[in-house]
Amino acid sequence: MIEILYQDDHYVAVNKRSGLVVHPTKLAPDAVAVLPSLRKQLDRYVYPVHRIDRGTSGIVVFGLSPDAARQFGELMQAREVDKQYLAVLRGYADDVGRIDYAIEDADKQNGRLDSVTDYWCERRVEIPYAVGPYEQSRYSLVIVKPLTGRRHQIRKHFAHLRHPVIGDSTYGDGDHNRLYRQAFRCRRLLLMASSLSFTHPATGERVDIACGVPKRIERLFERFGWFDVPLRHEETAETV
């Protein structure tokens, strides 16, 4: 069963597990897709309005009609949907920052596209595990708010800062990913869509959806002394 976080007459928001894809794709033909599973679970047609990476867990919204999906898409285009994520990074991130760094179009047709990401560092830890020449390893837990919606934007932006997301096999640090697999039995991307807010197109009411940290990741956080982790941030990051 797919966990439903929010549902009304127009939208349904679910908690996508890491490893699932939002809809069937030729890039991952054997992966379980949320879209057909949710249609079967609800016994009705649902319409995708956005997506998150296969390795990312957390909030995904679907429209329950073509018109609702179109209206939500318009909110996304106007940047009126507040999406925030939790991520574990290699190293100590700044307290607050803005990454304004163009990244290449996923289809390689439009060159480099303007891309902006805000972030806030909520927790830091140094653990007694050696990686490379260092006897200790440092990590940061950040809340991330992408202001644009490019493919792999968060992962690319933090790799650009030399603070890659742990578990990222494409842009990340293989040595630190290996440490998490061996020492903590954590094989997933540590990126989670934890909060999503928008003004409902049909009712005009503000909708705030939150998704807690998966239990296995919560236990890992507790080993680091990261308790009561916030799921969203209200302020705007300062430009760096």
Write the pLDDT tens digit of every residue in 108-135. 666 788 999 999 999 999 999 999 888 9
Which tens digits make up the pLDDT trace of 6-52? 999 999 999 999 999 998 887 777 889 999 999 999 999 999 999 99
8 is catalytic: no
Q: Phi and psi of 187, rounded to 5°?
A: -110, 5
86: CATH: 3.30.2350.10
* pLDDT for residue 111: 78
Length of the chain: 240
- Structural domain includes residue 41: yes
pLDDT bin (cut points 50, 70, 90) of residue 107 is low
- Amino acid identity at 182: Q
- Structural domain includes residue 237: no
The tally of domains found in the chain comes to: 1
Please state the rounded mean pLDDT for residues 198-206.
97
* pLDDT for residue 234: 84
- Structural domain includes residue 232: no
Structural domain harbouring 144:
3-223
- Structural domain includes residue 159: yes
Which tens digits make up the pLDDT trace of 74-85? 999 999 999 999
User: How far out from the chain centre does Cα 200 lie?
Assistant: 22
CA distance readout (Å), 57 to 44, 87, 110, 177: 24, 11, 29, 17
CB under 8 A, 24+ apart: contacts of 17-25: 17/57, 17/214, 18/54, 18/55, 18/56, 18/57, 18/188, 18/189, 18/214, 19/54, 19/55, 19/188, 20/54, 21/54, 22/48, 22/51, 22/52, 22/60, 23/48, 23/51
- Structural domain includes residue 229: no
Of 8, 53, 100, 175, the catalytic one is 53
- Structural domain includes residue 186: yes
Angle at 125 between CA 97 and CA 53, to 5 degrees: 60
- Structural domain includes residue 66: yes
* pLDDT for residue 227: 96
Does the pLDDT at position 65 exceed 70? yes
- Structural domain includes residue 119: yes
